[in-house]
Every structure is written in structure tokens, then in C-alpha cells.
Amino acid sequence: MNDTLGGLPRAFTKMAGAGNDFLVFPGRVAVGPREAETIRRLCRRGTGVGADGVLFVSPSAEPGERTTVVLDYYNADGGPARFCANGSRCAARFARLKGMAGDELSLRTGWGVLEATVRPDGSVTLRLPEPVAAGTWLPTFDAEARLVEARAAHVGVGVPHLVVFCAAGVEVETLDVAALGPPLRRHPDLPEGANVNFVSTRGSSRLSVRSYERGVEGETLSCGSGVVAAAVAAAAERGETPPISVATRSGSALVVDFRLDGSLAREVTLTGEARLLFEGTLTEEAL
């Protein structure tokens, strides 16, 4: 049997970070139209394996970088993305499990080099490569019901995010994210689009967040970079004090810590689970 299928390795690992799930492959793959179509087919739920995205993880080829691994990330639509926080945590644990690195490692991503710590319980802490700005404010579109506030924070965490706080008296669990997400995901002031994160504040440095992700074009159970964006916006706008615990749609919580310096969050870390779910081999029928 050929060890590749549609341009991707047949052997894969399924992992999940706080409900955000991924197909993980060792090595690097040059993703062209054929490989992008394979990614789309494999990520479809019901007819494929099902995932929010695909990770390619490999040791660095640079001399002297024995603790560095390279992460290439692709969304479920087959398109590349600079950064995925939950995916990066899963990649760090995958690299540790496969002997590519130890408990302390660096991840080379499209955004930059992240530092990671893999713990015995399977949780991973990421240290982000640069400060996160609290963001500019853009109008929202909720003329019908006033379910969310009239403005949203535009925050970059490797990829663009909109942070949308629920209106007074509205809980994030009650929102129709499938309806509210698409127009904001394609906000006219953001040519590249954005992930959209809807937030309820819970007091005592706690938030609840639901995320509509571009590239998936739907709600995911968690978005790690969106959680960071929400925590930074809540600290800057609402006075929440880090570390901030953020409950995601999956029920798992992620912890964001940082030092707020004016409108900048410095020394940002993200901690949460990175689960190894199963390993498998793709068959011809997967496509």
C-alpha cells in the first residue's frame, strides 16, 4: 500500500485542545490544490475523519535547533493560517510524544517562534511571541435584537479577531452564533475577515466565550487565540485582572495570563489541555 493518500501521509493522529480538534501528521507537506482538497475532505464531519484543521509537525532542519519544531497549520477549508493557539498546544505535545523535543520546546509558526511547556498531565502552556494589543473598536451588526454591544474590539493574536461582548442581561449561551457570526466574520472594515468571539463576563477574572471561526465557517468548541483576544479585551475594557479563566463551548477552560501595559498585553501565556484522542491509518475510502 502506498504510504500517502491524496498527497498526505496515511498515518495520522487525532488530537483536541479544549474541544478544538485536529488531524496531526509528522513531517512537512507541500500543500497544493490536490492536498488542499484532501484536507477539506478529511476534515468534513460525517463523511471524513472530522476536524477543525490539520497540523504538520516536524523537527527543525536548522543546525543547533534541537529543541525547535516546525508547525504548518491549515484550516478545514484547506487554506493556510499563520497561527492556531489550540493547534500549537497540540503540536507541542505531539512533538514531545514522538520524541522530536522534550518538555520545553520552541514552535516555529507562521506568526513567529512560540515557547511551550508540556506537562505530565497533558496540559501545555504557550508563551506568545509578541505583545497583544487591546485593539481598535469597530461597529457590530445587531439591529434586530440588541443581543450584543454596538462595538467590537479588533484584536490580532497571530490572526485577526473580533471580540464582541454580550449586551446587558444577555448570556453568551443563548446567542444564535450561526446567525450573528457570518456578517461579523466578513466585517467590511477587515478585508481578510476575522474570527468572531462572543463573550460574557462572569466576574472574578472569569469569562465564557463562544467562537465563530473563519476557515471552518462555523462555530467551534474552542478557539485558543480567540480566548486570548477575549481575555486581553476584557482586561483593557472591563478591568478584569489576569490570570483570566475562560470557559469554552466544549466545557473546558483555558487560562490566559499576561501583564497589561497600557493598551498592550505583554508576556502572554495560554494554558490548557492538549488531548491525544487516537491514532489511525487513512484508507482509500476516506476520500
Catalytic residues: 84, 223
**Continuous segment of H or E residues that includes residue 91:** helix 85-97
- Which residue(s) pair with 68 in the sheet? 106
Q: Is 64 exposed, middle or buried (0-12, 13-18, 19+ CB in 10 A)?
A: exposed
CA nearest neighbour of 157 among 75, 87, 227, 212: 227
Number of Cβ within a 10 Å radius of residue 44:
13
The string of DSSP letters for 125-194 reads EEE-SS-EE--EEEE---TTT--B-SEEEEEEESEEEEEEEBPTT--GGGS-HHHHHHHHHT-TT-TT--
Inter-CA distances, 150 with 17, 114, 141, 211, Å:
31, 34, 7, 18
